[in-house]
Amino acid sequence: MARATVIGSGPNGLSAAVALARAGYAVEVLEAAETIGGGVRTLDGPLPGYRYDVCSAVHPAALTSPFFRAFGLADRVDWIRPQISYAHPLDDGRAGIAWHDLERTADGLGVDARAWNALLRPLVRRLDEVVEFTGGSMLRVPRHPITGVRFGLRMLEQGSLLGPRAFRTAEANALLAGVLAHAATPLPSPSSAAAGLLLAAQAHGTEGWAYPRGGAQRIADALQQDLEAHGGRLRTRENVHDLSDLDWGDPARGDLLLLNCSPRLALTHPGIPAAYAQGLTEYRYGPAAAKVDFALSGPVPWTNAQVALSPTVHVGGTRTEIAESENAVARGTVSERPYVLAVQPSVLDDSRAPDGGAALWAYIHVPLGSDLDPTELVTRQIERFAPGFRDVILGSLAVPASEREALNPAEIGGDIFGGAFTMAQAFRRPVVSPAPWRTPMRGVYLASAATPPGPGVNGMAGWHAARTALSDAGTPMTLEELFA
């Protein structure tokens, strides 16, 4: 039986491992940390009884992912589907509310109702096609060109100075700016628009911005269970620093090595061609994330009551303020009023905090490798829209960007996206190739967010790597065949 070794147990690594185990390979996953999951781990917080996700908590991409749909993730994990996908507080108690229901969201935007519908309704109606269009290598002909054109035109508008002109209200502009800023790129930019439009469409899609009851770890656990049911194994505390020291098998016999980690590890392969090594060396990382977990004595006292109902809250003020914050990071600094991506999972999941308490975690974007403790900046921004927030804080635990790589070696300098999310690197992620998951080293494949479709908990980079490996081995398989 041919072997497959997967380095890294993030969602992409586990997805690749599941696919190869089901295809008949003897699979072993090596994980540097004490627990599996990479960016979908759920760990204890600053006080007993509080549980936090180390990177992502809410997963709009998970239930729209072709791989996870075929895998049946919706049935393997208990998902919470909020009525409000995300909220965006503004000064004076105002807020933009992105309800799961598109019409309800538009109705709440007053004079911008028609504009919000015009921007997102065509994408929501063809969400599967949008996901397919954005879910693979950019160097291929799209299967749904009309949807691609619709998406592209909106991306160009919202990725330019024309974007804010599409709306007349601060609420609509803020709602869109909050999702555009997820990409951690200068605003406006086509790459931020691409990421933001997909997220906004998913907010109103069938699944909304769902998240697993009990934490993101449930996704990793479901994948582990399937992998082990098909003979695969996982080994933790196995930090691979040099591929030349790794006995991963014989590529001439069909053995495979898949890297769910930074492509930098591939540079240690003794047979790497100089040109390919140069391409990996030129691949850029950053910005990064600085995160803080809060243990609270009760709910966040948001001025706007509807914000208190939303598990995801974008804190940062107006669209102009958010652009200023993200552009400051691009210049190597941090705004005094940063864009804060906050998640309060205990709003709908009582397993995340003790009775009466509440869990909230938040991160801001910072320059690569920054040692900034974000606690005070985040606290001030939340206090701005939730006076009294300081009074409910029982404890906090900060993880500066400079410390994230120690927790997850794939996060170079605290970059949680697997590489800078720019338009240039959408085409070279991490090199220019119609199949960037394949390396020139026989039997070696890349299976991380440094390959298309990039960041997001969707398992697709892992599936693309496994599918490419199976095709190269002369045994191509479809998702339908794999999960039949």
Using one digit for the tens of pLDDT, what is the confidence trace for 334-373?
Answer: 999 999 999 999 999 999 999 999 999 999 999 999 999 9
pLDDT range class, residue 87, cuts 50, 70, 90:
very high
User: Alpha-carbon distance 432 to 455, whole Å?
Assistant: 18
Instruction: Enumerate the domain spans of the chain.
Output: 3-40+214-283+418-482
Q: Is the pLDDT of residue 139 over 70?
A: no
% of residues, the chain, pLDDT over 70: 99
Token output for 67: 């791989």
Residue 241, pLDDT score = 95
Residue 258, pLDDT score = 98
Residues of 213-225 as b/e, b for ≥16 C-beta within 10 angstroms? ebbbbbbbbbbbe
Residue 135, pLDDT score = 83
pLDDT range class, residue 138, cuts 50, 70, 90:
low
User: Alpha-carbon distance 110 to 374, whole Å?
Assistant: 35
> Tens digits of per-residue pLDDT, 35-85?
999 999 999 999 999 999 999 899 999 999 999 999 999 999 999 999 999
Residue 355, pLDDT score = 96
- The pTM assigned to this predicted structure is 0.96
Taking residues 461-469, what's their average pLDDT?
98
Closest CA to 282 of 131, 139, 450: 450
Angle at 174 between CA 150 and CA 127, to 5 degrees: 30
Closest CA to 269 of 246, 250, 249: 246
Taking residues 216-220, what's their average pLDDT?
98
Q: Please state the length of the chain.
A: 484
Please say whether the dihedral angle defined by the alpha carbons of residues 140, 142, 143 and 145, taken in this order, is positive or negative: negative
User: Alpha-carbon distance 120 to 109, whole Å?
Assistant: 14
Q: Is the pLDDT of residue 484 over 80?
A: yes
Tell me if the domain spanning 3-40+214-283+418-482 has CATH number 3.90.550.10.
no
Q: Is the pLDDT of residue 140 over 90?
A: no
Residues of 286-303 as b/e, b for ≥16 C-beta within 10 angstroms? bbbbbbbbbbbeebbbbb
Compute the mean pLDDT over every residue in the chain, rounded to the nearest whole number.
96
Q: Which residue's entry shows tokens 């016999």?
A: 253
